[in-house]
Structure 1
Amino acid sequence: MAQMQPARPTEGARRSLPMGISESMSDDAQRLLDELHVRQDAFEQQAQLVRQLQTALQRAQATNQELALVADRVTDAILICDAQRCISWVNPAFTRLTGFSLTECHGQLPEELLSGPHTDAAIVAQINQSLAQGACVERLEVCHHRKDGEPFWVRRSVQPIHGPDGQINRYIEVLTDISDTRRSAAEHARRLEVEVSLAAKMAFLSRMSHSMRSPLNAILGFTQLLNMADAASLTEPQQRHLQHIHTAGHQMLSLLDQALEFAQLDDKAVGIRPQRVELAVLLKEIRAALEDQAAAHDITVVVDCPSLTVWADANHTRAILMNLAVNAIQYSPHGSTVWLTGKAAADERLGVIEVRDQGFGIDAGDMQRLFQPFTRLESATRSPATGNGLGLAVSQRLAELMHGRIDVTSTLGHGSVFALRLPLAEMPGSGRAGAQGRGQEPAVMLPPLRVVHIEDNALNRSLVEAVFAAYPQVRLFSAENAAEGMAAIENTRPDVALVDINLPDGSGLDLCRRLRAQTEFRKLPLIALSADALPDHIARALQTGFNHYLVKPLQIPRLLGILATLPSAQAAPPTN
């Protein structure tokens, strides 16, 4: 479009121009003014463009800072490699995982940097082949080695990045540490192998026991017939030899029974029926049962036990104490005393039953072997022991199954003390449930609480029931699996939940996630109970949402200390 020429001044306008301003000068001023306006508009457009560029630059800087923050905080190791797959950048997680800094690994190939003796060459070849064909690598598990040579397992993902020309100009790689998962899988496989081995051992022992009982039956039966015959027909040495055969046969039968019992103690199906056991009554029964044996050895058995109740299997507790008392009588010198005493260890909420003798004692070097199967210690003052060395091993295992243990202290020349420790059913003087207030108060006071306990093991549920037996203000709701536990929590709205990690229908971690996803249970105190003491697993449970993690065997004082800090229940549980 042709530029419009400014209109020339009319005759009247020319006559009105100021003195000294010609017509041509007026035209130049107008042209300069128009050009000034044009340049001013251009400057304004450039200024606006500069502001837009500054804004875009600020946004890009903010985005880069956020990306840098993500790269610094992400737990997975991230690498950026050039077109030749040489490392150009790594995030801090890569350094934490491998031990290599960016300076140390810059310009190196990931496979050459991280491969070692445990790295599968076939997997590395698979990675290189896939990338050479332009394909990506998705979640491929491979073992690599850290800077110090330690092997670790990762899940590798490699993504090629194409440039404007369509050619690959870089690679982005992510390494996810799966060492814990691999260890857990290996541990699970090992446990399965052990369980299969135990099952095979049980089957073998059962068959052996059945097969050996038949010839033993014949040996013992015919020796009894010979004993019943006319004694005059046998010489004295023959009668003595016959008695030796009879004694050895009974020892063989006892060994079979105890070996089978010891093997069954590793079976989860072992019969444990916990209940309240009054120790004073039980110790008096044991003294009466051993009266003849003690008299034969000129041993005095003394019982000293206040009113004390433990939570245990009555038959197994009796068997343990009988075995300890028989050993004490056997290893005590004639004319000495064996004490059976009971007391409460209030700080541990345990009942302690001590069997004390005046025998020669046990050498410190023998303490480590004391509870090993088929181990017999010889006494310096008496004839060698006639047992088979399984009694103490069986007793210790039974004590552990009842959440207890057997401790030993001994001084050469001054005798030994075997102490059986079992959970208290109630504190001394507290009375049965409902009798609180007439006796001594529990060592730790608890507010009124509603507690849901989720545990598939009946003995563990009984232990928790025993813990709260002295607290009538605590209402306990027990569940055997995750589904029942979830229903109990939703129905009772508890003040705290005690959750086993390994449940038959799912993980306690999954249950925790489900609870934390619901608004009404987001702040519910959750306490994990597990036999798994690995630090990584404890950290994972706490990260999932558990407030506390208690390792079995349960530390009762710690549990009570945690519960004592909880607020009281605000409302009664709903009724169905």
Structure 2
Amino acid sequence: MEAHLGGGDALGAGWVSGDVYGWLLMLEKVVDGSSNMVVVTDAQRRIRWVNATYTRVTGWTLEEAMGRRPRELLHGPQTDAEELSRLTQRLNQRDSVGSVELVNYKKSGEPYIVSLSIEPLYDSRGDLQAYLSIQTDVTERRRLEREALELGQRLKVAQRLARLGRIECDPQHGQPAWSGEVFRILGLEPDGQPRGFEHLLAHAHEDDQVAVRRALAAGDASGQEVEVEFGVTGVHGGRRWVRCRGRQTPGFCGSMMAWTVQDVTIYHTRLDERRRLNEVLNRQVAERTRKLEASNQALAEFSYALSHDLRAPLRHLSSFATLLQDELAESGPCPDSVRLYADKINQAAGKMQRLIEGLLSFARFGREGLSLAPMDMGALVGELVAELRGGTAGREVRWQVQASMPTVLCDPILLREVWANLLDNALKYSGHREVSVVEIACEPHEDGWLFSVRDNGIGFDTAYADKLFGMFQRLHRDTRFGGEGIGLALVRRIVQSHGGRIWADARVNEGATFFVYLPSEPPLREPVPEVDAVSPPSVM
């Protein structure tokens, strides 16, 4: 024990009197296991003793610190010189020092923050014998306090950006209080007065107050979190909207309802703008619907004209051309050019008749809705293939039809038109082959079914595929292949009316494949027709 206090030589030198020495012996027993650093210096403030905690924190042992002044070991660039000067002045005046904070440095050079108290020790004659310093490392505490302060500042910024305030118990006063954001929403200056949810509700519109109090009563009865939204009027008369969520929480204020208060005025402004925009759009839709109905009426009148005013003259033209051909045949020799001209008149009349029939079919479909019913695609395709076999006498046609096909909800009459057109095209454009091959397949795809019709015909250049489904569009001018360019346009419209898509892939002289996607559940209304007939790559 004597060695810890400087040994016999030190005591003999008389650096402490007997009564102070006895006090120090007792102190060493008390502070041996202390979590605080304890330093004893002589009257000249040179270190005479340190406890184990001092060595653990600073890295300096008693042997290394003995006889040296604390400033020689502990002070550095960040040590506050002014605070150090004030401390020295008070010690020179032999005053006690309490809870002074300094930045000190460990033996390793690492800074730390210390809170120290220094007490002068006197002997029985009143002579200064030593200084007792109790030091506490508060670095971690100050770091936590700093982080808490920074976190609080960030929280305030986040709440400001989110327009989110709070109403909760103030632990310092034990009363409900508003956060600064609630004051800002109402245009008020914080006044430090106790303010709860009732004070906010006092700014609500009278009609909203009734609904809010009803929601509060329901929340009290169920014990669940309450969420209400209502309009408030600030000090300048401006109307704003707030959304409040509250729940019962115990605290210094007793069991009170803690609330979040969010400014949702922008949200309501956007809703009002959208409502006004919808009204404008509804008026535009109504106007366009009226114009569309007028257009449909005009189309109906045009269809009537085609049906009655044009077809009758065409029938007469065709009939007189046939009579002319018969008359020429019975009247004996005549110029070949006359017979040729009569044939061309008859052919042109027939073509015009077919065009008119196609236009009428296209127009009728546009005015009629879908009549949906489950349809076995396998049975429908099988029936059409059987019919087409009867018209291919003298040709070798190889049909490759998938064994099983699904039952699809569709308009059976219109889907029959789709299959009839696709199969007829496959036969027509593969007619120059020694063996015509037509493959029909199906697979599940995107909540629906993907059908395909593949042939080994003349194909086409996919650079012109966008014209394939257009009205009166034909990619082939070869006279071997008849047609008016209406069939695929009608097919595309039928498929789209079922909420599906149609597209094609081909290579010149290597055949073509037509793909038809049909959803499991067709839409209730005919969708807007697509402009591009080529499907995206993900479906190919």
- For normalisation by structure 2, the TM-score amounts to 0.45
- For normalisation by structure 1, the TM-score amounts to 0.43
